[in-house]
Amino acid sequence: MNKHLQYLLILGCFLPLWAELITLLLVFIVISNKSGLIIDRKFFHFFIFIFVISGITIFVNDYSYDKFFQQACLILIFVTLYYSILTYKNWDLEILFHRYLTISFYVCMIGILQLIVFYFSGINIFNLNGSLEEIRVTSIIGEPGGLAQIILPAVIYYFRNVVKEKKLWNYRALIIIGVFLLTSSAAGYLIFAVYLMHHLWKMLRFKIFLFLFPILFLLIGLKVITIPDKYEFEVRENDIATKFSETLDGISHLRPAIFENTNASSYAFLSNLYVSLESDSRILGTGLGTHSESYKKVYKPGYVLYGLNMEDAYSLGIRIFSELGVLGIFFLLFFIFKNYNSQDEISIAIFYLFLFVIIRGGNYALYGLIFFAIFYYLRKKEFDYRSLNSYQDQELKFNS
């Protein structure tokens, strides 16, 4: 029973937000007779503090409370349910993470199927709107960036294991990493490059590097040959280097006249960054759930892409800075680095997910973000507990 509930819980992270909530409730109802609602005291005090500060800043800045209550309820429900479920005594966190790896693999296999069908028929089975985005792998997630986000911990975890164990023909690793590359997510590529620079230089052997990377780039090449000739392809919109260069240029000259002449991804990032910097109360923010209101106040309509990612700010870092100010950014970074465990492969994998969502992915709950946050916190707590017990055992042996 526990095994099926664990798979159901993880599957919910790959589904739309309403479906994730349903799976959460189903799992909780099944285990609720053995384990009731549980909330960590630190989390409770933290959210009370954030909600009170947000309530005050919303009042002072004359903003609406509608989305504040919506976001506050959403976050509280997800955090409470996930914390209650993940602290259920019979559930091993390491086994649960391996359930996540399994589901990631099958979701990526569906992405491969999507690519094959597109190659032979020109039909994207998960995106029938005829947009240029149809040549990027999305699987059941619906958008390439979302797929890159949710499988990133699996990508980092498998890549580290392939390098450490020198098992180059780990088919699961190749498929997951290959699909990740085929999403063409600029944020995903950037975070993966940061990972390579930060960690792999210490452990990578030159021969493995030469052998593994051609395989990965062959998978990128697969994307190119699967574009039917009858489809026009605008290189400017999909070129990763263009996105990086235009975004960096826009940051150094952050004004509408500049970022309104960039590609859609750069525009979404830069326009929301502009709003967050120009909004009121940069120390405490304008309040939880207020970014879209700030967007309308600070940035006037007129451009064809106006409002792109206005609701989620495109980036969690931008959204938190906009709504919770410098204080919110401090709490975010404190949580990430306080619970980072360099000795734990799972912790390292999830750490890079947080780096990803700081750049891209402004929804507080979508794609299992709260699940991974609670998991990350409990994983560090579990490690500290084991370390303390081990230390006490060693002291007892020494004293005896």
pLDDT bucket at 236, cuts 50 / 70 / 90: very low
CA dist., res. 342 & res. 172, Å (int): 24
Residue that terminates a domain, selected from 201, 228, 255:
228
What the block records as the tokens of 187 is 């944020």
Residue 90 lies in a domain: no
Shared domain for 160 and 184, answered yes or no, is: yes
204 φ, ψ to 5°?
-80, 130
Q: Do 303 and 265 belong to one domain?
A: yes
Quick one: 187 and 121 in the same domain?
yes
Domain stops at, among 204, 228, 252: 228
| Residue 389 pLDDT class (50, 70, 90 cuts) | low
124 and 146 belong to one structural domain: yes
Q: Domain for residue 166, yes or no?
A: yes
Residues 250 and 224 in one domain: no
Task: Report how far apart, in Å, the C-alpha atoms of 135 and of each of 79, 216, 230, 321, 351 are.
Answer: 35, 18, 12, 33, 29
Number of domains in the chain: 2
Q: Does a structural domain hold residue 103?
A: no
* Residue 163 belongs to some domain of the structure: yes
The overall average pLDDT reported for the chain is 84
pLDDT in tens, 4-55: 999 999 999 999 999 999 999 999 988 877 666 777 788 889 999 999 999 9
Residue 301: inside a domain? yes
Query: In which domain, by residue range, is 270 found?
Result: 242-325
Tell me: pLDDT of 128 over 70.
no
Among the candidates 168, 197, 228, a domain finishes at 228
Residue 379 within any structural domain of the chain: no
Q: How confident is the model at residue 202 (pLDDT cuts 50, 70, 90)?
A: low
